[in-house]
């Protein structure tokens, strides 16, 4: 008979009796709501002389490694709050990544830095056992797999991901034969690999983030390492200055990626919005990728935007907007069981940016409507009404973030109530943060599936499509509304908005016509002319890069999968090493830093912010949760490592005299 664990004491007792419950005990009590609410600063580890750019726990969690701009690696005892070893890294540029090599008893640490080099260190002797200079750009991230000994992977700003096996002799030269992924081949010479992660339970899966909004998931079993060539002309100055990847980029090399080896992920609105971000002097770059503890989800912190969660087990396709088409007249007296003729039409479906937003309209017969919601109990109905009232009051007060938080909580509790999705969509539209209009589209879509006659969801969907410049789809949506809700179509609100959409649609048609008439050479010269204020050589490489995306890359992007959840509230525009991680053995919480020096903690299910802590005087970049204890290590611009743990519960006892 299955045991019921009602409290910590019973769970702990069961662990003592049966060792099989130890894992369950750890997972249940690793990170809880109570512990997160009591999280506070436990210690500041001092010893570095510069910004601390990387943190890493060993597998047992009894050692913490940190790397800094001071070019030193420090090993800490996290529970005694003291420094154990300070290792000169031998690098000549800022350290960006440190990793314990698996199955070496924490004796070997590998580091990557801004000097384009990777070095392997022996902790006991404090000697460098390997120094690799194969990369032609700053090494931004390293990755290891728990059950893959003596191997590690690197991602650098030369657009290259390399694979290393310390059991195989390695000699650096201008021809590297351990190139696993070469982004330059499909993206052009402007490609940069920014971050990398290995799935802890399926180490054949490797995630890569680059200087674009796409996250790539590779099956490395299907990929045979290939070669890449680098220029090795030396002149005066330091080696990493001579190997500038902007001035002398890596040769594209050969394509070693077979069909089916990679899946792309991206938030559905981002490809079309890249031009807007560039106009605002912001770039979209993945600054960190991480797998969930169960290996089924992938988290990406997108510089210049938000944090996104992707389900790699049940991949979510990009939205296909199914809406009602009443262009065929229908006898209003038809019974609900009668068959109804339908008319289906669609747009081209694939935008120039590669995203699929095909619109297929079809008539939904009355019998397919979602039934009126029946509450399981009066208490459930009362709870729903109370929560909705609080959310609506926040909306009326223009407290849109609070309203979104309350609607999200309501959706978690009552996932089949259409008005919660519709109201949250309205709050998203009013708040209008980056990504909000696309999130509103998803909510409208969910509301319409629950209730096809939900007028507000239809109209809000058209509004969001217009905001995202999907004007053809917005116009088709309005056509469907005119057919389905003829009385509403006569209102001034509808007619005015319809006019705006038609004007935008005609403007887009003019732009498309002008683009068709121009050839690639005029486009290239125009791009170069617009960059006169920039170095001529640099602008030439950027203009070429815009035209260098391969057909295969376009196909990968066109089939990219959408996100499952979005976490926002932080700011990630200043540094390109800002992390985001799962907190808790089941990934119950999401943690990330911010440009304002804050630490954000989100609830994984509702996506609501549950805590905001002050973590740095300037910027928090790194957040690494302890593998088995409710302990969080953070760092940033300050030259210290901070440890965060739950504070003691304070109880006030009344003394009777």
**Tokens (6 digits) for 250:** 């890596």
H or E, element range at 241: helix 239-242
CB 58 within 8 A of CB 103: no
Provide the pairing of β-strand 127-132 with 226-229: unpaired
Taking only the tens place, the pLDDT of each residue in 237-295 is 444 444 444 344 455 667 899 999 999 999 999 987 655 655 555 689 999 999 999 99
Taking only the tens place, the pLDDT of each residue in 408-421 is 999 999 999 999 99
Q: Which residues pair with 193 in a beta bridge?
A: 210
Please state, in angstroms and as integers, the Cα–Cα distance from residue 190 to each residue in 33, 159, 377, 532, 600, following that order: 44, 8, 59, 18, 32
Phi-psi region of 75 (alpha: psi -120 to 50; beta: other; left: phi over 0): beta
Model's pTM, two decimal places? 0.84
Point out the residues of the chain with pLDDT beneath 70: 1-29, 230-253, 273-282, 320-373, 510-547, 651-657
* Strand ranges across the sheet with 640-646: 39-46, 640-646, 632-636, 620-625
Other CB atoms closer than 10 Å to residue 306's CB: what's the count?
Answer: 23
**Per-residue model confidence (pLDDT) at position 319:** 80
**Per-residue model confidence (pLDDT) at position 26:** 58
Query: Which residue shows structure tokens 């396709």?
Result: 317
Residues near 332 by Cβ (< 8 Å), separated by ≥ 6? none
Q: Which residues pair with 609 in a beta bridge?
A: 602
**Per-residue model confidence (pLDDT) at position 228:** 77
- State the number of CA atoms in the 13 A half-sphere of 637 facing the CB: 12
Rg (CA), the chain: 27
CA 517, 519, 523, 525 torsion-angle sign: negative
**Per-residue model confidence (pLDDT) at position 177:** 85
**Tokens (6 digits) for 578:** 């800002």
**Tokens (6 digits) for 25:** 């005990």
**Tokens (6 digits) for 59:** 């597998």
Residue 388: which of 438, 431, 422 has the closest Cα? 422
**Per-residue model confidence (pLDDT) at position 505:** 84
Please state, in angstroms and as integers, the Cα–Cα distance from residue 530 to each residue in 274, 279, 526, 535, 602, following that order: 17, 13, 6, 12, 42
Other CB atoms closer than 10 Å to residue 372's CB: what's the count?
Answer: 6
């Amino acid at each position: 008979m299955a045991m019921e664990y009602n409290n910590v004491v019973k769970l702990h007792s069961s662990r003592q009796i049966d060792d099989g419950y130890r894992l369950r005990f750890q997972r249940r009590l690793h990170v809880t709501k109570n512990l997160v609410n009591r999280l506070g600063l436990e210690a500041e580890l001092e010893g570095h002389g510069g910004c601390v750019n990387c943190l890493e726990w060993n597998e047992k969690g009894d050692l913490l490694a940190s790397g800094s701009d001071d070019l030193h690696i420090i090993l800490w005892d996290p529970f005694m709050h003291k420094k154990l070893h300070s290792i000169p890294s031998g690098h000549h540029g800022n350290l960006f990544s440190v990793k314990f090599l698996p199955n070496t008893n924490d004796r070997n640490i590998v580091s990557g830095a801004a000097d384009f080099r990777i070095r392997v260190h022996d902790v006991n002797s404090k000697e460098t056992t390997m120094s690799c200079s194969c990369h032609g750009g700053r090494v931004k991230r390293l990755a290891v797999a728990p059950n893959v000994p003596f191997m590690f992977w690197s991602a650098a700003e030369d657009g290259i991901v390399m694979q290393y096996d310390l059991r195989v002799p390695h000699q650096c030269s201008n021809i590297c034969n351990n190139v696993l992924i070469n982004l330059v081949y499909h993206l052009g010479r402007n490609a940069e690999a920014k971050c990398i992660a290995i799935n802890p339970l399926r180490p054949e899966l490797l995630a890569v983030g680059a200087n674009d909004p796409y996250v790539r998931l590779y099956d490395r079993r299907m990929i045979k390492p290939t070669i890449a060539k680098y220029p090795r002309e030396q002149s005066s100055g330091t080696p990493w200055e001579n190997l500038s990847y902007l001035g002398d980029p890596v040769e594209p090399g050969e394509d070693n990626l077979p069909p089916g080896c990679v899946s792309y992920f991206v938030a559905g609105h981002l490809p079309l919005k890249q031009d807007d971000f560039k106009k605002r002097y912001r770039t979209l770059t993945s600054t960190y990728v991480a797998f969930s503890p169960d290996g089924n989800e992938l988290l990406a912190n997108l510089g210049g935007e938000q944090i996104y969660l992707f389900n790699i087990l049940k991949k979510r396709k990009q939205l296909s907007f199914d809406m009602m088409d009443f262009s065929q007249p229908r006898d209003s007296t038809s019974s609900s069981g009668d068959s109804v003729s339908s008319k289906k039409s669609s747009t081209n479906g694939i935008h120039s940016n590669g995203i699929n937003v095909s619109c297929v309209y079809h008539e939904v017969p009355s019998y397919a409507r979602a039934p009126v919601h029946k509450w399981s109990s009066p208490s459930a109905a009362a709870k729903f009404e109370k929560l909705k009232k609080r959310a609506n009051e926040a909306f009326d007060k223009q407290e849109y973030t609070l309203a979104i938080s309350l609607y999200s909580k309501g959706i978690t509790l009552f996932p089949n109530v259409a008005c919660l999705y519709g109201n949250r969509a309205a709050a998203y539209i009013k708040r209008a943060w980056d990504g909000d209009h696309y999130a509103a589209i998803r909510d409208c879509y969910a509301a319409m599936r629950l209730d096809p006659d939900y007028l507000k969801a239809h109209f809000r969907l058209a509004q969001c499509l217009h905001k995202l410049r999907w004007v053809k789809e917005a116009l088709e949506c309005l056509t469907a509304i005119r057919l389905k809700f003829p009385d509403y179509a006569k209102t001034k609100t509808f007619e005015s908005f319809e006019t705006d959409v038609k004007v935008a649609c005609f403007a887009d048609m003019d732009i498309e016509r002008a683009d068709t008439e121009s050839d690639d050479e005029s486009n290239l010269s125009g791009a170069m002319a617009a960059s006169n204020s920039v170095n001529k050589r640099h602008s030439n490489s950027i203009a070429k890069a815009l035209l260098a995306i391969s057909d295969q890359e376009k196909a990968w992007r066109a089939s990219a999968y959408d996100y499952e959840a979005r976490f926002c509230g932080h700011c990630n525009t200043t540094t390109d090493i800002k992390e985001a991680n799962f907190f808790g053995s089941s990934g119950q919480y999401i943690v990330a830093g911010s440009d304002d020096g804050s630490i954000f903690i989100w609830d994984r299910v509702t996506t609501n912010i549950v805590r905001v802590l002050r973590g740095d005087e300037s910027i928090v970049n790194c957040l690494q949760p302890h593998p088995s204890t409710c302990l969080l290590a953070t760092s940033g611009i300050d030259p210290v490592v901070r440890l965060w743990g739950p504070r003691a519960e304070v109880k006030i006892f009344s003394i009777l005299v």
